[in-house]
Copies of this chain bind each other. A is one copy, B any other.
Amino acid sequence: MMASWNNNRKIKGVLLDISGVLFESGAGVPIDGSVEAVKRLQSAGLPVRFCTNETTMTRNMLTEKLHRLGFSMKDEEIFPPIPAVCKVLQKRNLRPHLLVHPTAALDFEGIDTLNPNCVVLGDATAEFTYHNLNKAFQALMSMEKPILFSLGMGRYYKEEEELVLDVGPFAKALEFAADVKAEIVGKPSETFFSSVLEDMGVSPENAVMVGDDIVSDVGGAQACGMLGIQVRTGKFRPQDESHPKVKPDSFADNLLAAVDLILQASK
């Protein structure tokens, strides 16, 4: 079935989610047609940026993984939350207490973590122990004005056929315990999307985001004034077609079908 949409905007830039759009989480192969789809966008001369809330590996490792799967992109075309939060920390003169994945921690190199005055929470997976959560909580309680950053706010994702907790639930736990509201860095934060658009030099009304997370990807992009396409891969569930809050500008069976729509709208 050929996807179609009711869109009269001219598309000049494309944002793509990675996990669930380019490949299935945990799987070692690309989603059918996704390598070809990205190539078509690039050949058409459309700027493409890759927006992910991935915080379990460094940006370099992620680029290498994508290259191994057959995708072509530069390191700086990939936008994960850690480089973004590092800019915020430096700008606001903040020293983080980190509760993040040990591998991703490498991307914090050069960031001063002595005598912390904020907490940064990533998808720490097995590092989410009672001990480590207590340490992050105690750090917050020791601050006169506690500051908590959450790298995304995902509820869960699929890992080797099991649903596992993402960073969001742990951010909620610390919010409740320390009576603080987390600042989200990553999708669906408007600041995060804006920095990507700025990098492309494209205004939101000429940009489209393609994602598998109806709230974080599609809803987040639409809230910034972009178009949002929901793919039926990754964490997509049939209930998303009648989501109570988010109505995508289009659904597409996969990235390749989404790219068909986008290329039509880019001429």
Residues of A near any B CB (own CB < 8 A):
124-131, 133-134, 137-138, 141, 155-156, 162-166, 168-170, 172-177, 179
Mostly, the A contact residues are helix
B176 engages A163 (CB within 8 Å): no
Contact yes or no, A176 B162, CB < 8 A: no
Bound-state CA distance A130–B132 (Å) is 11
A164 / chain B contacts, CB cutoff of 8 Å: 134, 137
Shortest CB distance A100–B (Å): 13
With a cutoff of 8 Å between Cβ atoms, the chain B residues found around residue A162 in the complex are 134, 138
Query: Which residue of B has the minimal Cβ distance to A130?
Result: B128
Greatest chain B CB density within 10 A among A131, A137, A162, A177 is at A177
Closest to A173 in B: B169
**In the assembly, what is the distance between CA of A179 and CA of B215, in Å?**
14
- A97 vs chain B, min Cβ distance (A): 15
A168 in contact with B163 (CB, 8 Å): no
Cβ-defined partner of A163 (8 Å) among B130, B131, B138, B169: B138
